[in-house]
Amino acid sequence: MSLRYVPATLELGLEEPVFVFAIAMAIFLVGPLLVKRLGQPGIVGIVVFGALVGPGALGVVEHSAAIELLGEVGLIYLLFTVGLEVDIRGFREAPQHAALFGLTSFGLPFVVGTVVSHAILGFDAWASMLLSAVFASHTLLAYPVVNRLGVTKNRAVAAVFGGILFTDTIALIVLAVVMGVVDDGGVSLWLVGDVGLSLALLFGSTWFVLPSTGRWFFQNVSEESYFEFLFVMTVIFATAALAQLLDIAPILGAFVAGISLNRLIPEGGTLMNRIEFVGNAFFIPFFLLHVGMLVDLGVVFDGPQTLWIAAVVIATMFVTKAAAAWLVAEVQGYTRHERDVIFGLSTGQAAAALAITILGVDAGLFGSATLNAVVLMLLVTALISPWLTERAARGVALERDVADEGDRATDPTILLPLSHNAELQQRLLELSFLIKGDRGSEPVNVLTVVQPNQRESTPEQVATVQAELDEIAAAGSAAEVPIETETRVNHNVASGIVQGAIEVQADQIVMGWDAGQSFRHRMFGSIIDQVLERSTLPILVSRLGHPINTTRRIFVVVPIGADHHEGFYEAVHLVKRIAVGTGADLQVIVVEGSAHQFEELFGLVEEDVAAGFQSVDRWDRLLPLLESRAADDDLIVTISPRRGDVGWHGRLESLPSELVGLPPESFLTIHPRQGEPEYDRQYLRYE
């Protein structure tokens, strides 16, 4: 028996699944690589090649039901990944930004488009409204561009992501109302109520059910990692199916599902990597191929009516979208690049616009010329939207790289090496959360270094430590602070800590000190002192005898000359951040220096904190002063340059052990950053 398979046909207009799939994979590979050499975004290559091989051009591949299915699946998957990327904390802090963009980006094109379609194109009122809804909404066709450039967390991009809730929802409401009018001959309260109830059911059931279900599944069922991915796939399409049952676009259901699972799928984790890989390599390219094959390149020869409608629609869309982007940027204070990126993203049109148009054709509101014009609009936006977005997003990325260095003042990346002392762990976590505040998204990187020993196998040690770190990560989730955990094996703990700080690009290292350990080295013991010698980062060494949030006053000890250290202003900013977080007043004690001089210097640093200043003329008067004034719920902070640095004094070496006996039992030593004076200037109000 021969096992050789003979294909049914090899002629143009291929429908044989194996050949169609082979051509699709080749397009996914070659298309992006080729157009990138021409300076265009890679996703444009898939759309263009789809148009060339589709029935509207060479006709090599039939636009079969399988392509349509995979294209719809890709669009649904795309909207789910967009939901995962939404900055939930930022959205909750400023939902009005998404609302402003969504309502403006839809409202202005919709109103102007309705007038233009009626007055210039001659459509009746309901057809004009439906055609305007087609291009007033938008599909995030250029999302892969902003994702690749790493600007999805930008405030303007986040507003576009959140705004799609408003644009698509309103567009679907317009569709439902217009179709209801056509079917019933008029608008009714029942029709409006039905749409509102469907949206309420979708949002309510998704937001209340999915997070708890997902949390339970990830904790109890996912014995193998691929089960987690299968669970996510089930959620995506079950939610999309629910939306469709409610007569709502499935893409909206997928987007809401992404938002609902946002916190349960951490960025950079294994599951997120799998989701992005499968989407970028398979599902989303099939969506782009589907869009390209919808394009009929022969539309240019269909006569002037199609080109006239297409020209009016495209011009109206671009002008009104640009006006909406400009208006939102002016109100929100966006930069030029942020304005341009929201314009580029909001001009993308794809299958959602085509679906509304086809429904209009089926209802008799549009003719074939309008359908072809909308398809031509899809091609134009598929080319221009990614191009505009790529140019603008690169500018946003550069602004982030330069300007956001200053944002590190309020959103530092912290490395937190932990020991096995549970109480100490919790206190250090609270201190790290306090320093970060509620304004950032950079994680606290929790690290434990395991030293191999002969009593217990290294894998067992790592497993024990990792279990503890998982509990710490859960504590971070409760505080809505992202935590990344790592266990590394190293015979030298200090080397492991310093290497970890380099790898995560930490801005600060926060360490705990057990005052009961033996002094095998100078200040704190061998590990901390070795880290101080090997790292130039600011290092905070703490011994917290009470919860940091109960601190009433903070006594800050500043040695003369510390103001000339290259990390002085950053250290002052850290002190002020802690004071802001605790609501404590500052009492600054200058040793052998001018209190008035340091009052002026502290005033230059960002953060407004009430502070009193005084000086002592000798080091031996510092401890009696602190002992007489400090209480159990106070915190003593010392700005302590490293040995040999500007501002160093020999008494700083013994000061930690002397502070142990004072009433507060809580102190913090800040060793400023070394060797980066230009970095320090970002913390000043002005220069």
Residue 587, SS3? strand
CB atoms within 10 A of CB 89: 17
What CATH architecture applies to the domain 545-687? 3-Layer(aba) Sandwich (3.40)
Q: pLDDT tens for residues 242-268?
A: 988 887 778 778 888 988 887 677 554
Predicted confidence band at 456 (pLDDT cuts at 50, 70, 90)?
low
Instruction: State the pLDDT at residue 321.
Output: 93
By residue count, the chain amounts to: 687
3-state secondary structure of 454: coil
> Measured between alpha carbons, how far is 329 from 651 in angstroms, rounded to an integer?
54
pLDDT surpasses 70 at 526: yes
410 against 645, higher pLDDT: 645
According to CATH, the superfamily of the domain at 408-514 is HUPs (3.40.50.620)
**pLDDT, mean over the chain:** 79
**pLDDT, tens digit (0-9, with 9 covering 90-100), for 177-194:** 777 677 656 666 666 677
Whose structure tokens read 């946002």? 262
- Residue with the bigger pLDDT between 93 and 679: it is 679
CA angle 111, 113, 114 (to 5 degrees): 65
Query: What is the distance between the alpha carbons of residues 312 and 181, in angstroms, rounded to a whole number?
Result: 26
Per residue, what are the HEC states of 261-293?
Answer: CHHHCCCCCHHHHHHHHHHHHHHHHHHHHHHHH
| 478 confidence band (pLDDT: 50, 70, 90) | very low
Domain spans of the chain, in order of start: 68-279+305-404, 408-514, 545-687
Judge whether residue 309 has pLDDT over 50.
Answer: yes
The whole-number average pLDDT for the span 623-643 is 88
pLDDT, tens digit (0-9, with 9 covering 90-100), for 113-159: 999 999 998 898 888 998 898 888 887 778 778 877 777 768 888 78
The reported pLDDT for the residue numbered 152 is 72
Quick check: 674 pLDDT over 60? yes
Write the class of the CATH domain 68-279+305-404: mainly alpha
d(CA 343, CA 311): 19
The answer to whether 408-514 and 545-687 have equal CATH topology is: yes
Q: What is the pLDDT at residue 315? A: 93
pLDDT at 354 (0 to 100): 65
Residues 17-54 have pLDDT tens digits of 888 889 999 999 998 888 777 766 677 788 788 888 88
